[in-house]
A and B are shown apart, each in its own frame.
Chain A
Amino acid sequence: MVDSPRPHERPTAFDRMLTPVHRWIWSDTDRRVQKLLRFGETETDGGRDILRAAEVTSDPLLRRLYLEHAIDEFRHGILFRHRAAELLRASQTASNTGFQGDWLAPGGHGLDDLQLDGESDKTMLAFLHLSEKAAASRFSVYRDVMQHDPPTRAIFEEILHDETFHMNYTLTQLARVEPQQHKRHLWRARLSRLWKAYLRLATGLAAILGSILLTIQYFVLLPPFAWMAKRVANREHPGWTTGSPTRSDSLNRQY
C-alpha cells in the first residue's frame, strides 16, 4: 500500500506522466543495479560539490548546513552502492551495459556544472533548492514504483526524508541571506537550469551527429589507409626503437 504523499513528496505532473516508464525501467534487476550504482556516483559527486560550497562560503551557518548536507549526500551514495551490491549478489549476474533509460530516469542531482568557487551563497542556495525539489519529485516516483522491492523502496523513503530537510533549509536560508529578492533568485536559477538543460540536449545531439559522421567516414574513407597501416605494421618488429637521425628535437614542433 502506498502511503499518501506529504506535500513536498508530490511528484511533478511530468514525472507522474512518466510513471509507467519508470515502472518499466525499474522492473528489471540488472537495470536497477546499474541505476543504483549510477545514483550512488551522482550522490557522491553532488556531496563533493556541496562540500566545496561549505569550504568556500564565508557564512558560518551555511558552512555547517552545507557540511551536513554533504554528509547526507555521501551517505546516500553509500546506501545506493550497498543496495546495488546486495542485488548483484542475489542475482549473480554480470553487469548489464544495455539500455538504462538514464535521461528518462535521472539520478539525484548535480549542480548543473555550477562553478562553485565563483558563485555567491544566494545563487548556490537557489540552485540547491531547485535541485533538491526536482530530486524529491523524481525519488517519490521511484519509491512508488518500487513496491516489488521493499529494501530499495526503503532507501528512497529515507533519502526523501533527507531531501525534505535540504529543500527546507535551502529555502529558509535563501530568504535569510536575500530577504528582498529571494524569489527573483529562484526564477533566475530556474531559467539557468532550463538553459543548461538545453545546452546538455544540444551537446548530446551534436555528439550523436558527430559520432554518426565519424563512423561513416571510418567505413567509407579509412579502409585504404587501414590496409596501408596494417602492411606497415606487419613490417615492424617489436622491441627497441632508436631515434631516427632525421627526428627533430626542436621544441617548436608539435609532432
Chain B
Amino acid sequence: MNILGISAHYHDSAAALVVDGVPVCAVQEERLSRHKGDAAFPLLAIEWCLQQAGIEPEALDAVVFYERPMLKFDRVLTCALRAFPQSWRAFPKAMKNLLGEKVWMRGIISSHLGVSARKVLFTEHHQSHAAAAFLTAPTRRAAIMTADAVGEWATLSVGDGERGSNGTTKIRRFREIRFPHSLGMLYSTFTAYLGFKVNEDEYKVMGLAAYGQPTMVEQVRKLIRRTPDGAFALDLNYFEFHTTAERSYSPRFVELFGPPRNPYEPIDLDTAEGQRFADCAASVQRVLEDTLVELAQALHRETGLADLCLGGGVALNGVANARLLTESGFERIFVPPAPGDAGCAIGAALYCDRIHFGNPDRDVPDHPFWGPSVDGSELARLAREDGHFAEEFQDGALIDQIADDLAAGRIVGWMEGALEFGPRALGHRSILAAPRTTEMRDRLNREIKYREPFRPFAPVVPIEAAGRYFDIPPGGTRLGRFMSGVFPVRPERRSQLQAITHVDGTARVQLLDTAMAPRLHALLEAYGRRTGIPVLLNTSFNLAGEPIVNRAVEGYSTFLRSKIDVLVADGTRVTKRTSATGSTEPERMREEVA
C-alpha cells in the first residue's frame, strides 16, 4: 500500500511516502526549492518522493494532508468574529489567505497529482504530530504529548499510544488545550518581542536565555495562569495575535516588559538593555519549562507509563526536553528528528496506514536520513571545472585525511548519503570543526555562519564515549540521538570543549550510534585517536538565511562563498586553490572574466 503524506501552507512544507507501512523517503520542500522555510504546496518534494520510490501518482492508495482545512477555517473565522470589531484589518487578509487556496486542499491535491478526490484524506494537525512522535519511536506503549503554536483548534494535546501484540495500533487523545491558549504562541510572542523571526528563530530565544537570569518570571506568569483542571490559559489582554496579523503582543505587554528590541540592532549583552532581553528570554524559557514539566508529571501520574513521545514545534526546545526527562517521571522521552510541521507529513501517512486502513504495525527505521543522496562525482566534476583541487579517496583513507584536516584546525563541509529530514544536521549535511577553542566558535560565527555571537554550536560524540564528556542523565541517550536534549558538559572537560560549551556549561549534544552514521562515527574515532577527544563541533551545512544544503552543487557553492576549508561529498575531498596574488575569490573571478 502506497501512502503519500503532505504538510504545507503554514511553514516548512514537506512530503513523505510510506510504502507497505514503512517510510521510504521524506523531504522538506525548502531543501529542493532552496527557499528557507518554504511553505508552498510541496510539488518538488512530492515529485522527488514518487520518483525515488519509482511509482506513479495513480499507484497511490491515499494522499493524506496533515490537517483539516475546514476546521482551521472555522477557527480563523470564529476568532475574527470574537474579536469584532478589532479584527477588521486582519479579516480580509485572513479570508483571502484561506479562501485563495488553503481550504480547497482536496481539489488542489487531486488536480496536482491526478488522483481521485476520494483518495485524498485528512488527519488532524495534532493527530499528525502524535503519530509522527509515537509511530516512529521504538516503543510499544507510551504517553503522548504534542505542543505547538496552533493546529486547527488544538495547541496542546495529551494522550497515549499502544502497539498491540496482534499488530494493531491505537492512538488515543485524552484532551487538548485550544487556541488562543497556546504555549507555542506564548514563546513566539517573546520571539517577536525580542526582535527575532516568528516560527523560525525560536531557538535563538532558547540560546539567548542562557545569558540571562529568570528575573521576570513573575511578569511572565501574569501572561499565563494555570487553570483549576491543571491546564493553562493566556491572559489575552497582553496579546494581539488572536486579533491581528500585524503584531503578537499588546501595549500592555510592552508596559510590563519595556520597549521591544529593534530587530536590526545587535544584542549587546554588556549593556543593561541587552541583559534585559536575555533576562526576558530566560524568564519565558523558565515558565515554558515549568508548565511543560507540570503537564507531563500529571500525564505520567495518569498513565503510569515509562515512555513519553513528544511532538510539535515545542519539542524542538532541547532545554525543556532535558528538564522533562529528569523531572516529569518518565524514564525515556522520544522526540522524532522532525517534530515540527514538516514531520507531520510522515505522521499523517503513518496514521493513515495504521489507524485508517488498520494495517499491521511495522518497525520504522530509527534514523533521520530520508532525503536525496549526494553524489561525490558531481562535486569532483564541479571543482575540476573551476580549477580547485579534487581528490577521490577510498573510505578509510578519506576518514584519515579528514581527521588530519580537523586536527589541523580546518573547517570541513561534510556531505554523505541521504539528506536529513528535519531541522537538525545529524551528520549527513554538517559543517564539522575542532571543538577545543572559543576562537573556532567565533571564527565559525564570524566567517561562515554569519550569525549572532551568543548562539552556541552543538557537538557530536560517539554514544559509547559520551559519558566521559557530558553528564547524560538516565534515558538521555535517546534524547541525544537526534540532538533533542541539552545536557551539561562535564566541568573538567569544558576547557577542552570551549567551542561547543554554552555560557551555562551545557551543550545540545548528538550521541552518535555507529549504525546510524558509520562514516561519521569512524571519523570521530579517528579524530579522537589524533587529539584524545572524539568530539566534533557539528553545525548544519548552510549559511545564514539559507536552507541546509542538499546536492553536491549546493554544498559546493556554499563552500566557495564561505571560509570552509575542506569540502567532502561521499569519497570526494575538495580544497580551494590558493592564489599567487593573494586575491579573493570574487576578485579572481573578475580578473578571469576581464
A residues sitting closer than 8 Å to B (CB atoms) are 37, 44, 48, 51-52, 54-56, 60, 63-65, 67-68, 70-72, 74, 81, 84-85, 88-89, 95, 165, 169, 207, 210-211, 214-215, 218-219, 222-223, 225-226, 228-230, 233, 237-243, 249, 251-255
Q: Are A239 and B71 in touch, CB under 8 angstroms? A: no
The 8 Å CB contact of B557, one of A54, A72, A249, A252, is A54
Q: A64-B592, A67-B561, A223-B84 are in contact. List 18 more A-B contacts (CB 8 A).
A: A51-B557, A64-B386, A68-B589, A71-B561, A71-B585, A85-B264, A88-B262, A89-B265, A210-B92, A210-B96, A215-B88, A228-B81, A237-B227, A239-B233, A241-B177, A243-B175, A251-B121, A252-B122
- Nearest-neighbour CB distance to chain A for B383, whole angstroms, equals 11
Contact A233 B175 (CB under 8 A): no
Q: List 25 A-B contacts (CB under 8 A).
A: A51-B34, A55-B557, A63-B385, A67-B560, A67-B589, A68-B585, A68-B586, A68-B589, A70-B561, A71-B586, A84-B264, A169-B593, A210-B96, A214-B92, A218-B88, A218-B92, A222-B84, A226-B85, A230-B81, A230-B82, A240-B227, A241-B175, A242-B175, A251-B123, A255-B74
Could you say which residues of chain A place their CB within 8 Å of the CB of B227?
237-240
For the complex, what is the distance from the CA of A128 to the CA of B264, rounded to whole Å?
29
Let me know if B265 and A239 touch, CB within 8 A.
no
Q: Could you say which of A44, A68, A165 has the most chain B C-beta atoms within 10 Å of its C-beta?
A: A68
A240 and B84 contact, Cβ closer than 8 Å, known pairs A251-B121, A255-B71 = no
Measured CB to CB, the closest approach of chain A to B4, in angstroms, equals 13
CA distance A255 to B75 in the complex (A): 11
**In the bound complex, how far is the Cα of B544 from the Cα of A108, in angstroms?**
21
Report how many residues on chain B are interfacial, defined by Cβ distance under 8 Å: 64
* Smallest beta-carbon distance B495→chain A, Å: 35
Docked pose: A48 CA to B69 CA in angstroms: 32
Most buried by B among A70, A71, A218: A218
CA distance A67 to B229 in the complex (A): 58
B181 and A238 contacting across the interface, CB-CB below 8 Å: yes
Contact B95 A222 (CB under 8 A): no
Beta-carbon contact of A207 and B96 below 8 Å = yes
Contact partner of B545 among A44, A54, A95, A251, CB < 8 A?
A: A44
Is the C-beta of B530 less than 8 angstroms from some C-beta in chain A? Answer: no
Is there contact, CB below 8 Å, between A214 and B95? yes
Beyond A215-B91, A251-B356, whether A240 also contacts B264 by CB under 8 A is no
Residues in B whose Cβ lies below 8 Å from that of A207: 96
Question: With a CB–CB cut-off of 8 A, which chain A residues contact B112?
Answer: none
C-alpha spacing A238/B175, complex, angstroms: 13
Residues in B whose Cβ lies below 8 Å from that of A239: 177, 227-231, 233
Residues of A with C-beta under 8 A to B265 = 85, 88-89
CB proximity to A under 8 Å, residues B57-108 = 64, 68-71, 74, 78, 80-82, 84-85, 88, 91-93, 95-96, 103, 105-106
Query: In the bound complex, what is the Cα–Cα distance between A60 and B385 (angstroms)?
Result: 6
Q: Is B545 a contact of A230 with CB atoms below 8 Å? A: no
When the two chains form their complex, are residues B181 and A226 in contact, meaning their CB atoms are under 8 A apart? no
A215 to B85, CA, bound (A): 11
Q: Is the CB of B386 within 8 A of A60?
A: yes
Q: Do B589 and A64 touch (CB < 8 A)? A: yes
In Å, the complex CA distance between A64 and B231 comes to 57
In the complex the two chains form, what is the Cα distance from A253 to B74 in whole Å? 14
CB-based contact B557/A254 at 8 Å: no
What is the bound-complex CA distance between A255 and B103, given in angstroms? 10
**In the complex, what distance in Å separates the CA atom of A51 from the CA atom of B82?**
46
Bound Cα distance from A219 to B81, whole angstroms: 11
CB of B176 within 8 Å of the partner chain: yes
Tell whether, in the assembled complex, residue B174 and residue A242 are in contact, meaning their CB atoms are under 8 Å apart.
yes
Residues of A within 8 A of B35 (CB): 48
User: Is A240's CB under 8 angstroms from B121's CB?
Assistant: no
Neighbouring A residues of B356 by C-beta, 8 Å: 251
Task: Output the least CB separation between B188 and chain A (Å).
Answer: 19
B residues at A contact (CB < 8 Å): 34-35, 64, 68-71, 74, 78, 80-82, 84-85, 88, 91-93, 95-96, 103, 105-106, 121-123, 173-178, 181, 227-233, 262, 264-265, 351-352, 355-356, 382, 385-386, 545-546, 551, 553-554, 557, 560-561, 585-586, 589-590, 592-593
What's the nearest-Cβ distance from chain A to residue B78, in Å?
6
The residue in A51, A55, A95, A241 that gathers the most chain B C-beta atoms within 10 A of its C-beta is A55
Collect the chain B residues with CB atoms within 8 Å of residue A230's CB. Answer: 81-82, 84
In the complex, residue of chain B having the shortest beta-carbon distance to the beta carbon of A40 = B264
From residue A241, how far is it (CB to closest CB) to chain B in Å? 5
B550 shortest CB reach to chain A, Å: 10
CB atoms of B91 and A254 under 8 A apart? no
Taken together as a complex, chains A and B put the C-alpha atoms of A88 and B81 apart, in Å, by 38
Task: Kindly state the separation between the CA atoms of A63 and B560 in the bound complex, as whole angstroms.
Answer: 11
A23 to B364, CA, bound (A): 63
Indicate the member of B68, B88, B265, B593 with the most A CB atoms within 10 Å: B593
**Which 5 A/B pairs are nearest by Cβ-Cβ distance?**
A238-B233, A226-B84, A229-B81, A255-B70, A239-B227
Interface centre among A84, A89, A215, A241 (most CB of B within 10 A): A241
Taken together as a complex, chains A and B put the C-alpha atoms of A207 and B93 apart, in Å, by: 9
Known interface pairs A218-B91, A226-B84. Does A251 touch B64 (Cβ–Cβ under 8 Å)? Answer: yes
B9 to chain A, nearest CB (A): 14
Roughly how many angstroms separate A229 CA and B593 CA in the complex, as a whole number? 67
Let me know if B69 and A254 touch, CB within 8 A. yes
Which chain B residues lie closer than 8 Å to A48 at the CB level?
34-35, 545-546
Kindly provide the distance from the CB of A74 to the nearest chain B CB, expressed in whole angstroms: 8
A226 x B82 contact (CB < 8 A): yes
Residues of A within 8 Å of B589, CB to CB, are: 64-65, 67-68
- Contact B175 A240, beta carbon cutoff 8 Å: yes
Complex contact B82–A214 (CB within 8 A):
no
Is B70 touching A254 in the complex (CB atoms < 8 A)? yes
Query: Chain B residue with minimal CB distance to A59?
Result: B385
A60-B385, A218-B92, A240-B175 given as contacts; is B122 within 8 A of A251 (CB)? yes
Q: Contact check, A55 vs B554: say whether CB atoms are below 8 A apart.
A: yes
Contact among B69, B105, B173, B590 for A68, CB-based, below 8 A? B590
Q: Nearest CB to that of A234 among chain B residues?
A: B82
* Cβ contacts under 8 Å, A252 to chain B: 121-122
Check if B81 sits within 8 Å of A222, measured CB to CB: yes
Q: State whether B92 touches A211 (Cβ < 8 A).
A: yes
With A68-B590, A88-B262, A210-B96 in contact, do A240 and B177 touch (Cβ < 8 Å)?
Answer: yes
Residue of B nearest to A74 (CB): B561
Contact of A238 among B69, B231, B545 (CB under 8 A): B231
| Residues of chain B with a CB closer than 8 A to A74's CB | 561
In the complex, which residues of chain A have a beta carbon less than 8 angstroms from the beta carbon of B121?
251-252
- Taking each of B84, B175, B231, B233, which has the highest tally of chain A beta carbons within 10 Å of its own beta carbon? B84
Per the bound structure, the CA–CA distance linking A238 and B70 in Å amounts to 23
Pair B78/A229 contact, Cβ less than 8 Å: yes
A residues near B382, Cβ cutoff 8 Å: 63
**Cα(A44)–Cα(B274), bound, Å:** 27
CA distance A65 to B176 in the complex (A): 54
Provide the bound-state CA to CA distance between A252 and B356, in Å. Answer: 10
Residues of A within 8 A of B561 (CB): 51, 67, 70-71, 74
| Measured CA separation A215–B89 after assembly (Å) | 8
Q: Given that A241-B175, A254-B122 are contacting pairs, would A211 and B228 also be in contact in the complex, using a CB cutoff of 8 Å?
A: no
Bound together, the chains give a CA A225 to CA B382 distance in angstroms of 62
Find the A residue at minimum CB distance from B93. A211
B73 to A, closest residue via Cβ: A255
CB distance from A113 to the nearest CB of B (A): 12
- Report how far A48 CA is from B545 CA in the complex, Å: 9
Chain B residue, CB-CB nearest to A60:
B385
